[in-house]
Amino acid sequence: MGLIWLLLLSLLEPGWPAAGPGARPRRDAGGRGGVYEHLGGAPRRRKLYCATKYHLQLHPSGRVNGSLENSAYSILEITAVEVGIVAIKGLFSGRYLAMNQRGRLYASEHYSAECEFVERIQELGYSTYASRLYRSAPGGLGTRRQPGTERLWYVSVNGKGRPRRGFKTRRTQKSSLFLPRVLDPRDHELVRLLQRRQERQSRGDPPGAKSSHIRAPQSVHQ
- Provide the terminal-to-terminal Cα distance of the chain, rounded to the nearest Å: 76
Q: How many residues does the chain have?
A: 222
Whole-angstrom distance, CA of residue 108 vs CA of residue 94: 9
Query: pLDDT for 75-97, tens place per residue?
Result: 999 999 999 999 999 999 999 99
pTM of the full structure? 0.72
Whole-angstrom distance, CA of residue 34 vs CA of residue 27: 5
Tens place of pLDDT per residue across the chain (222 aa): 444 443 433 433 333 233 333 334 433 333 344 444 444 557 899 999 999 999 999 999 999 999 999 899 999 999 999 999 999 999 999 999 999 999 999 999 999 999 999 999 998 999 999 999 999 875 555 555 555 557 999 999 999 999 999 999 999 999 999 999 999 999 999 999 999 998 888 887 665 555 444 444 444 343
Share of the chain above pLDDT 70, in %: 68
Query: pLDDT for 206-220, tens place per residue?
Result: 655 554 444 444 443
Residues 6+ apart with CB under 8 A from 5: none
Whole-angstrom distance, CA of residue 204 vs CA of residue 78: 29
pLDDT at 147: 52
pLDDT at 16: 29
